[in-house]
Structure 1
Amino acid sequence: MFLFNNLPPELRARIWRFTVEPRTVEIDLTEREWMTEKKGCLLYSTTPVPAPLHTCREARSLGLYKQAFSEVCPEQRYVWVNLDIDMISIGSKTHLSYFGAIAPLIKRLKFQREHQDEWWFRNESKLVKTFINVEEIHVMCDSWYNWWGGSEDIRWPCAMENVLLFEEEDGPAMNPIELDKMWYDRQEVEERELQAEYDEDTRLELADMVPL
């Protein structure tokens, strides 16, 4: 029986790297109660530590995953992530402002927001652009209808083709350009139908008129 540890170190390292797969890493930053002595946020994650890190010291030493998010937590808590491939999911309650120090390191971001929420629309949405190196953004929407105009309302830091808007988890998605086009097209159809109804009503009124 040939043992894994008998393989050349270079080959073992290559095999360990094959174990790395993109994950969705849940990040929850909760503001402490204002009456507590300690200030700042509490960091939680329900995402398990990657399996290779449980295996052996060699796997941990390869730098397949990094300790991240300690910058945003005064207690120096951290989460194991691979910021090159992992999707960082912050849900609906974790504020984008908490990530000021680490925002430029995040390449894939997922969050849930209501576009008609005044705080989001007027304030927090402006922080999306601070994720200057993000390559992909997933947004869980309250509804596509409410996100109409998102291609113009928000300064997305990545190509809009890489911004995906979902109405439900694992459901179909559209980028802001596709969504705006869908609603503009629908609006044009409705306007043509209203104009056709008006023209028909006008024609009938004229037909019913008795010549003097």
Structure 2
Amino acid sequence: MTTFNHLPFEIRAQIWKLTVEPRTVEVRIVHWNIERDWRLFSTTPVPAPLQTCREARNMALYKQAFSELGIEKRYVWLNFDIDLISIGKTGFWVFEKVAPLITRLKFQRENSNEYWYHWESRETQNFVNAKEVHVVCGDPPGCWWEATNEITWPCALENLFFIDPRDGLIVNGIEMEKIRDESYEAEERRIDEEYEEEARRYEDETRQLFADMTTL
């Protein structure tokens, strides 16, 4: 029986490529001082193929990335084409140097937060090559209804995803707009119905008042 090492290199290379799968890679920066003492860390394990042998590492399936973000020569193994880079609540400004490298981005924010709403949301434009963005909503999803209009996103709305961590519900930007419009329409109908009901009540009371006056 032919062992893996005895297969032709072209076949081994194809097998190594098939081991590559999209991952969610958690990336964080800890800093005790705004200008120094930055520490890059990730809780995501190193891809298994890279721990197997030198040949797999030499295949360039993953790159050593983000070493420029910390004071130490730390790095994260990434495949920028398919990996979803999750930065949590870490500020966008920390990733300014590497933002153009990121094609799939995930972060958590509160749209009701004044700093995010008025300032940091503009920095989404730094991720100029992001083809997909995932937003973990730190406040109720309704707070994000206008986000598709008020924020300039680097990706198409169908590739913009809003995640409600409370129930795991995920909707894209187009679906979010539909939910928003339907909610506004429902609210308008409710107001119209209340107005019509109030108008009918006023008309009935007025009619009764005239009837009572006529009787007198």
Aligned residues of 1:65 and 1:82 also touching (Cα < 8 A):
yes
Deviation of 1:8 (Å): 0.5
TM-score, length basis structure 1: 0.92
Counterpart in the other structure of 2:147: 150
Counterpart in the other structure of 1:198: 195
SS at match of 1:158: coil
TM-score, length basis structure 2: 0.90
Counterpart in the other structure of 2:112: 116
Counterpart selection for 2:129 from 126, 133, 136: 133
Aligned residues of 2:109 and 2:135 also touching (Cα < 8 A):
yes
| In 1, Cα distance between equivalents of 2:167 and 2:141 | 15
- Does 2:160 correspond to 1:163? yes
SS at match of 2:72: coil
Deviation of 1:87 (Å): 0.4
Counterpart in the other structure of 2:55: 58
Counterpart in the other structure of 2:18: 18
1:9-42 per-residue CA deviation (whole Å, 9 max, x = no partner) reads 11111111111111000001111246xxx81421
Q: Which amino acid aligns with 1:22?
A: P
Q: State the percentage of identical aligned residues.
A: 49
Change (3 A) 1:27 1:54: same
| In 2, Cα distance between equivalents of 1:206 and 1:101 | 67
Counterpart in the other structure of 1:3: 3
Aligned residues of 2:162 and 2:173 also touching (Cα < 8 A):
yes
Q: Extract unaligned runs of 5+ from structure 2.
A: none
Counterpart selection for 1:49 from 46, 50, 63: 46
SS at match of 1:189: helix
Q: Which amino acid aligns with 1:117?
A: N
User: Whose radius of gyration is greater, 1 or 2?
Assistant: 2
Counterpart in the other structure of 1:99: 95
Q: Extract unaligned runs of 5+ from structure 1.
A: none
| In 2, Cα distance between equivalents of 1:125 and 1:132 | 14
CA RMSD of aligned residues (A): 1.7
Greater mean deviation of Cα atoms: 137-146 or 169-178: 169-178
Greater mean deviation of Cα atoms: 39-48 or 172-181: 172-181
Deviation of 1:187 (Å): 1.9
| In 1, Cα distance between equivalents of 2:181 and 2:62 | 44
Aligned residues of 1:31 and 1:41 also touching (Cα < 8 A):
yes
What is the aligned residue count?
208
Counterpart in the other structure of 2:28: 28
Counterpart selection for 2:182 from 185, 193, 208: 185
Deviation of 1:73 (Å): 1.5
